Amino acid sequence: MQSRRKIYVNMKIPEEEYKEQHYPTQSKQQPAEQPQAKWDYVRWKELNVGDYVKIENDQDIPADIVILSTSETDNICYVETQNLDGETNLKQRQGLPGTAGIRTEQDCEQAKFYIESEPPHVNIYQYNGVLRWQIDVNDTETIRSGVSHEKADAVTYNNILLRGCVLRNTKWAIGIVVYTGSETKIMLNTGRTPSKRSKMAKATNPHVIANFVIVAIICIVSSIMDSVQFNSSGSSRYFDYNIEGSNATYSGFVTFWVTLILYQNIVPISLYISVEIVKSVAAYFIFADLDMYHEETDTPCIPKTWNISDDLGQIEYIFSDKTGTLTQNVMEYRKCTINGVSYGLGTTEATLGALKRQQSHHHQEKETEAGLNMQEFIQDDLIGNDQLEQYKQEMFAKQAQLYENKYIGPNPTFVDPKLFDDLAQDTKQAMAIAHFYQTLALCHTVIAERPDKSNPNYIEYKAQSPDEAALVATARDLGFVFLGRESNKLLVCIKGEKKEFELLNVLEFNSTRKRMSVIIKPKDSD
């Protein structure tokens, strides 16, 4: 699959009208009368394998694309994969090192390379390919100058943008199409929506079909017998006054419909109507149930699939895929333990959950082995909002005495004045606290943004996971501020003093190590 220079004809309709009516993306165009190539908006369906595509911030990815270059100096970009896997956190993708110099349309026009790609398959977490390009004899920038040879870059899942994703926090990204249309991974994983039927419907439908078959057999046999008996000897034909017709065929036809009306009660049509009425009443009770009403958002339980409501009484187990489903991807930093010392006066969700369970069983209060009442124990551990606000003001007052922190966020979640009491002393614990929060400010992959231009001290963090953003935000509130990154440089403000670190390597999180790490070097350090 070779990457060639594509020439697109001009659109027949105005560009702005086209944007409103279709889903456009930028593709390289070179009209015949102009020797210089330029980007143009084209329909998704007009993209072909091998086309250059430029995606801008907050735009949807129109096809499966290999990343050639991005607007970032380190050739990375961030995508949101919510349409693929339901994850709302951002994922980091890396451009290929061999094509990082492609920045303009002219660079795309002059580039010569080809990609060896694997066939399309349904696994959205796997891709293998190779980008190869030829080094000319006259290229003096290579070590093997004067010798024509071929170079290659491995293309993996980390170097590809899948259709259905959205580009975030990146000004632009240039890529080349490898899969389009029905061959994209999102389309290969799109199947027919299974029919949702309750167990009651699955059990009754075969019986209803059997009743229909029995009624049909009875009606057919009755009509045949009437047709045979029509021409039999006897005087019945002289007394029906030609009601049954003048021939056996017509008589059998009339008998079929007469018997169908007579035996229709065998099919329980009224049962279906009764069941639907019962399900409608059950849906109303579900809607009006106060136990399933969410007071914070003023949202009742809305039944959308009534035909499976009767299965609710048969549920024995509820499985949740992961914690993000339960926490709604909202993480708050409340407590921590540093060098064996616990900090944090806020109440965690676990404590609140234990209290709610205890209150729901207040009539069955039991005492622990130490003779303490569990409910009283939990109540003693809670701190009211007013008292917590006083502790927060006291904590930041002590912080101001030690150093100035002008980057405090609008909603700090960690509160404990004791932390700054220990940090103010010249002890090992103070050093451990400083190292702890300095690690939180440096060991991550978040992006620092300043959305409010009128307030440059307000920093908002975008991370691949909400817990990572919560850790870095708390370090910011406590005076260990991550200011941003420039290529491989990390800029931080530690206790009011700006420092710079060189990022040497990032060891990504994996299931074996169960952690992620960074290797950094302070500026002007050996």
Q: Which residue of the set 64, 107, 153, 321 is catalytic? A: 321
Q: Please tell me the number of Cα atoms within 13 Å of 190 on its side-chain side.
A: 11
Nearest to 159 by CA among 66, 57, 229: 66
- Judge whether 286 and 305 are in contact, CB under 8 Å: no
What's the rounded Cα separation, in Å, for the pair 525 and 217?
Answer: 94
Helices (H) and strands (E) in the chain, counts: 14, 21
Structure tokens at 100: 């990082």
Q: Which two tokens stand for residue 145?
A: 């100058």
323 marked among binding-site residues: yes
Across 71-213, where does the E strand assignment appear? 76-80, 90-94, 113-117, 129-135, 149-155, 160-161, 166-168, 172-179
CA distance 379 to 362: 13
Residue 310 is assigned to a ligand binding site: no
Q: Is 380 a catalytic residue?
A: no
Q: Strands 52-56, 24-29: parallel, antiparallel or unpaired by DSSP?
A: antiparallel
Instruction: Please indicate if the annotation marks 321 as binding a ligand.
Output: yes
Residue 245 identity = G
Residue 18 burial by CB count (10 A; 0-12/13-18/19+): exposed, middle or buried?
A: middle
432 neighbors 422 (Cβ within 8 angstroms): no
What burial letters (b/e) apply to 482-516, b meaning 16+ CB within 10 Å?
bbebeeeebbbbbbeeebebebeebeeeeeeeeee
Six-digit token pair at 56? 């801008």
**Binding residue ranges:** 321-323, 468, 509
**Binding residue ranges for ATP:** 321-323, 468, 509
Would you please indicate which residues are annotated as catalytic (active-site) residues? 321
